[in-house]
């Protein structure tokens, strides 16, 4: 297995084209690296690259997080605007831009879910897109907005909503119902377990995705991409549901 080799992303549907990360240094004319000139050490103007390319990673979901951390701290030090306080103004500007890009890239890549969502966006799909467009469509047609319930949760969500409705109604008239609160709490716990399990499932898709980056067809990649999208949408649905439950429960202690 050749895990260390760097691969050019094969996808053609990205928003950001991973262009040239190296070109000629503005100061000394040598070939430079992405952030600094390798010859004279001057900070370079940022080039529009995706976050994976920024760190020199292939567009894969399993990343070397220790390496990410190391690179981040080293670049943070080198790009720190204080270092450029005496430099000419365009260098100050570039160090600020590079620092801010660095922070965004690091924050996005270190988080498993953000990293996956970002990759999906590079691949041309947004996680919230479905519900967003559904919302807009509902607004335009005057329909009541209805979130699409993931099929595997239909029954659970139905029961839970009934119970929440009941609890709200009872609270309104000042009645106490510890048994119902306990039952809702139990269901909430199940949802939270599902929420965590989905992250594990997502990591399984990462492995499939990463293999396909090197050797898969566009069609294969699209399939995995859609599975990840579906999973993250389901996960967001559960998150919102748990938030609703918490809102109702918080007022009932
Ligand atoms: Zn240089």
Query: Residue 63 — φ and ψ, nearest 5°?
Result: -120, 155
Task: Tell me, in angstroms, the distance from the centre of ligand 1 to residue 108's CA.
Answer: 29
The pLDDT value recorded for residue 30 is 82
Q: Is the pLDDT of residue 135 over 70?
A: no
Task: Tell me, in angstroms, the distance from the centre of ligand 1 to residue 163's CA.
Answer: 67
Task: Tell me, in angstroms, the distance from the centre of ligand 1 to residue 225's CA.
Answer: 40
The whole-angstrom separation of Cα 57 and Cα 63 is 8
The pLDDT value recorded for residue 18 is 42
Q: Is the pLDDT of residue 28 over 80?
A: yes
Task: Tell me, in angstroms, the distance from the centre of ligand 1 to residue 34's CA.
Answer: 12
| Distance from the Cα of residue 106 to its chain's centroid | 12
Task: Tell me, in angstroms, the distance from the centre of ligand 1 to residue 90's CA.
Answer: 15
- Window from 55-64, 130-139, 216-225 with minimum mean pLDDT: 130-139
- Window from 100-104, 152-156, 200-204 with minimum mean pLDDT: 152-156
The pLDDT value recorded for residue 15 is 36
Query: Which residue did the predictor score with more confidence, 33 or 153?
Result: 153
pLDDT digits (tens, 9 = 90+) for 34-73: 788 888 888 888 888 899 999 989 999 999 999 999 999 9
Task: Tell me, in angstroms, the distance from the centre of ligand 1 to residue 89's CA.
Answer: 17
Task: Tell me, in angstroms, the distance from the centre of ligand 1 to residue 253's CA.
Answer: 65
Q: What is the mean pLDDT of the chain?
A: 83
Confidence band for 16, pLDDT divided at 50, 70 and 90: very low
The pLDDT value recorded for residue 67 is 95
Whole-model pTM: value is 0.77
Question: Which residues have a Cβ under 8 Å from the Cβ of 216 and sit 6 or more positions away?
Answer: none
pLDDT digits (tens, 9 = 90+) for 172-193: 898 888 999 999 999 999 999 9
Task: Tell me, in angstroms, the distance from the centre of ligand 1 to residue 36's CA.
Answer: 8
Q: Is the pLDDT of residue 78 over 70?
A: yes
The pLDDT value recorded for residue 125 is 84
Task: Tell me, in angstroms, the distance from the centre of ligand 1 to residue 88's CA.
Answer: 15
Task: Tell me, in angstroms, the distance from the centre of ligand 1 to residue 177's CA.
Answer: 72
The pLDDT value recorded for residue 128 is 61
The whole-angstrom separation of Cα 185 and Cα 191 is 10
Task: Tell me, in angstroms, the distance from the centre of ligand 1 to residue 44's CA.
Answer: 9
Task: Tell me, in angstroms, the distance from the centre of ligand 1 to residue 105's CA.
Answer: 24
The pLDDT value recorded for residue 7 is 40
pLDDT digits (tens, 9 = 90+) for 91-124: 999 999 999 999 999 999 999 999 999 999 999 8
Task: Tell me, in angstroms, the distance from the centre of ligand 1 to residue 49's CA.
Answer: 20
The whole-angstrom separation of Cα 171 and Cα 189 is 22
DSSP string across the chain:
---SS------S--SS----S--B-TTT-SB--SSB-TTT--B-------HHHHTT--S-SS--HHHHHHHHHHHHHHH-GGGGTTS-HHHHHHHHHHHHHHHHHHHHHHSHHHHHHHHHHHTT--SSHHHHHHHHHHHHHTPPP-PPPPGGGHHHHHHHHHHHHHHHHHHHTT---HHHHHHHHHHHHHHHHHHHHHHHHHHHHHHHHHHHHHH--HHHHHHHHHHHHHHHHHHHHHHHHHHHHHHHHHTT-
Task: Tell me, in angstroms, the distance from the centre of ligand 1 to residue 7's CA.
Answer: 26
Cβ neighbourhood burial of 162 (10 Å; 0-12, 13-18, 19+): exposed
């Amino acid at each position: 297995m050749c895990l260390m080799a760097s691969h050019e992303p094969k996808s053609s549907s990205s928003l950001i084209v991973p262009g040239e990360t190296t070109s000629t240094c503005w100061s000394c004319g040598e070939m430079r690296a992405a952030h600094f000139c390798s010859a004279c050490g001057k900070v370079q103007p940022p080039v529009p690259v995706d976050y994976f390319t920024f760190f020199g990673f292939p567009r894969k979901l399993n990343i070397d997080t220790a390496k990410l951390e190391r690179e981040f701290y080293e670049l943070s030090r080198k790009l720190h605007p204080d270092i450029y306080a005496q430099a000419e103004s365009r260098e100050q500007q570039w160090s600020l831009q590079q620092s801010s890009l660095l922070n965004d890239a690091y924050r996005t890549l270190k988080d498993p879910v953000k990293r996956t969502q970002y990759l999906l966006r590079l691949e041309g799909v947004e996680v919230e897109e479905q519900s967003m467009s559904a919302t807009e469509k509902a607004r335009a047609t005057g329909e009541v907005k209805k979130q699409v319930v993931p099929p595997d949760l239909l029954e659970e969500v139905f029961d839970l909503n009934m119970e929440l409705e009941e609890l709200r109604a009872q609270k309104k008239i000042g009645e106490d119902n510890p048994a119902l609160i306990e039952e809702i709490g139990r269901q909430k716990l199940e949802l939270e377990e599902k929420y965590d399990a989905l992250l594990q499932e997502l990591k399984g898709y990462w492995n499939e995705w990463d293999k396909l980056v090197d050797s898969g067809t566009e069609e294969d990649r699209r399939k995995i991409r859609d599975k990840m999208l579906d999973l993250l949408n389901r996960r967001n649905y559960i998150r919102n549901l748990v938030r609703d439950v918490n809102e109702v429960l918080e007022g009932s202690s």
